[in-house]
Amino acid sequence: MKFFVSTGEMSGDLHLSYLVKEILKENNQSVFYGVAGGHSKGAGVNIIQDIKELAVMGFTQAVMKYRFLKKKAYEYLEFIESNKIDKVILVDYGGFNLKFLELLKERVPQVEVYYYIPPKLWVWGEKRIKSLKLADHIMVIFPWEVEFYKRHGVKAVYFGNPFIEKYEVIKNRGNEILLLPGSRKQEVKKLVPIMLEVVEKRKDEKFLLKLASEDHLSWIESDLGKYNNLAVKSEITLIDAIKRSKIALAASGTVILELALMGIPGIVLYKTNIINEFIARYILKLGFVSLPNLTLNEEVYPELLQRECNSTKISNEMNEILKNIDKMDTKIKEIRKRLSGDEIIKSYAQYVIKGSRASYE
């Protein structure tokens, strides 16, 4: 069985790698090709386009890459046709994958398409559901999504969140403050200066700045060596970094969910340009932006967005969390419980293998 996969970001690549590994356990005759990154390559995907070239944050950057992505979409379609691909798995990356789905069903309608982790349409606009409906199968990883899609006449399959099987609660933690500015250049350049203001203000605390890559040091203009209470690491794993920490300040994204599942409290940070802010606030009408908060439909992890993303607000929220740590720990445990399931990744893999023969109510 031949698969073509398409994702565009590190988080999607990670989830895809879990799925690929499990499918190969169930059916070792499967072959995977496609658009992915290092995690999926390690799992067994033959990479025809590395996602490092696809990283886009926000609306303005997406427009700039439009021509490049359109050209790539037609290259992928030709590959799918010439290699007689049986099934396509799309993972997140809605800005590209939804349009690619339309092209797929127009040009190769016989190919069975699975949309695993569809884009957050309750955020980005429900009108895009029309495109999502073209997928033969929709597999979600959050319980509230099933009801959301059901209201729009779309059947979605849910077995639990895969991260539950990858992250255990870390019981013995350290006393540092973990700084996670994200993996995109725009995030690092905007958030690190604010984080360093907090480091400067709280000289009595020890901070750990975890960068996704040592190369990202070139994006930071400040002299990090002047901060005696700051350690900078890129090679350390997220798990090991959390073991050293009591609280985290993190860029909005999948990492907030990872923090919650490992049991560490934190603060969500998000800062973007004026155009993206206008679209987010006045067109999309965002509520909560972090997955743990969406899971319980309440602000467990404080969200400091745009103007509120400043060192004073961050420091104040840190004080509140540390004063009420037991209350936040209870809520974090509830998040993990809400997302649990049995043999989660295996269930998704079996569903993909069975395809149109699968029947889950």
The pLDDT tens digits of the residues spanning 257-272 come to 999 999 999 999 988 7
Taking 70 as the pLDDT cut, the residues of the chain under it are 55-64, 121-127, 273-287, 356-361
Report how far residue 34's alpha carbon sits from residue 338's, in angstroms, rounded to the nearest whole number.
33
pLDDT value of position 57: 47
Tokens of 202: 């709280």
CA distance 62 to 248: 29
- Alpha-carbon span 103 to 314, nearest angstrom: 44
Q: Where are the beta strands (DSSP E) in the chain?
A: 2-6, 31-36, 45-50, 87-91, 112-116, 137-140, 157-158, 176-180, 207-210, 230-233, 245-251, 266-270, 303-305
Q: What amino acid occupies position 298?
A: E
What pLDDT does 274 receive?
63
Q: What are phi and psi for residue 292, nearest 5 degrees?
A: -60, -40
